[in-house]
């Protein structure tokens, strides 16, 4: 008998344009149907009521939930509970998360942590900061990171949850924020579902309190890339 798939709730801001955004969410949907991701996507949440995430959700018969401001802990908790979610994946979600279990909530970040993380470091802002560091000769690569989410008590606590995946993204001299974004996005699409699967199947885990409790498979970094 096949084991029960984990129930996965996705948070994805996307864009307000119904034809744009939500590509990471779509990759997770495709992976769940192809067997790469052993999870049932129970719903997707966006702060844009009629944006690209909703368009993709409707086309794929995934429940869509609009979450407007003020993004309170009780709203996150209500959605998590009413959807029957066991895990929450932040895939391009640009709002502060409160009230979700830190051992079950994880994020994909489009830059190397901790240097290109923290308060106000999300989306294209990360790529712009990477571009400037590249111009100064301080770096030769960006990165895609995935980490568990700890509710921040201050601005200094953003993106402080334990990082369980880091994939360098080599850059070339002259790359600007646009080309960096495209390179990073490609790597996100290659790896997000594969690593998400390791989380929802319990192969990557932590106790939600102690950073040193993080467990990762000893050989997971050799996973083959998918185009």
Confidence of residue 221 (pLDDT cuts 50, 70, 90): low
Compute the mean pLDDT over every residue in the chain, rounded to the nearest whole number.
Answer: 93
Average pLDDT over residues 144-173: 88
Q: What is the pLDDT of residue 5?
A: 94
Q: What is the pLDDT of residue 155?
A: 60
Going by C-beta distance under 8 Å and a sequence separation of 6 or more, which residues neighbour residue 16? Answer: 48, 50, 51
Q: What is the pLDDT of residue 151?
A: 86
Q: What is the pLDDT of residue 121?
A: 86
Q: What is the pLDDT of residue 222?
A: 61
Judged against a pLDDT cut of 80, whether residue 159 lies above it is answered with no
Q: What is the pLDDT of residue 91?
A: 97
Judged against a pLDDT cut of 50, whether residue 145 lies above it is answered with yes
Average pLDDT over residues 148-164: 81
Judged against a pLDDT cut of 60, whether residue 71 lies above it is answered with yes
- Specify whether the CB–CB gap between 31 and 223 falls below 8 A: no
d(CA 224, CA 152): 34
Confidence of residue 224 (pLDDT cuts 50, 70, 90): very low
Average pLDDT over residues 121-142: 95
Judged against a pLDDT cut of 50, whether residue 24 lies above it is answered with yes
Average pLDDT over residues 26-50: 97
d(CA 165, CA 174): 27
Judged against a pLDDT cut of 60, whether residue 1 lies above it is answered with no
Percent of the chain with pLDDT over 90: 86
Q: What is the pLDDT of residue 17?
A: 97
Average pLDDT over residues 182-194: 96
Q: All domains of the chain, ordered by start, with CATH?
A: 6-126+143-170+186-222 (3.40.50.170)
d(CA 33, CA 51): 23
Average pLDDT over residues 56-73: 97
Average pLDDT over residues 211-222: 85
């Amino acid at each position: 008998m096949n084991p029960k798939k984990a129930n996965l709730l996705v948070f994805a801001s996307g864009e307000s344009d119904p034809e744009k955004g939500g590509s990471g969410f779509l990759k997770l949907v495709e992976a769940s149907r192809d067997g790469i991701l052993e999870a049932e996507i129970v719903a997707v949440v966006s702060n844009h009521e009629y944006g690209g995430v909703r368009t993709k959700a409707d086309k794929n018969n995934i429940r869509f939930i609009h979450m407007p401001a003020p993004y309170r802990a009780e709203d996150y908790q209500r959605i998590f509970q009413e959807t029957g979610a066991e895990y929450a994946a932040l895939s391009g979600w640009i709002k502060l998360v409160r009230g979700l279990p830190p051992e079950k909530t994880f994020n994909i970040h489009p830059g190397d942590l901790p240097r290109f993380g923290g308060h106000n470091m999300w989306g294209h802002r990360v790529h712009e900061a990477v571009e400037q560091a590249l111009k100064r000769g301080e770096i030769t690569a960006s990165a895609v990171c995935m980490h568990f989410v700890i509710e921040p008590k201050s601005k200094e606590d953003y993106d402080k949850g334990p990082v369980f995946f880091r994939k360098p993204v080599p850059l070339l001299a002259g790359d600007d924020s646009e080309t960096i974004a495209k390179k990073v996005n490609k790597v996100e699409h290659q790896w997000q579902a594969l690593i998400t699967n390791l989380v929802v199947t319990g192969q990557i885990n932590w106790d939600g309190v102690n950073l040193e409790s993080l467990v990762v498979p000893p050989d997971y970094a050799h996973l083959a890339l998918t185009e």
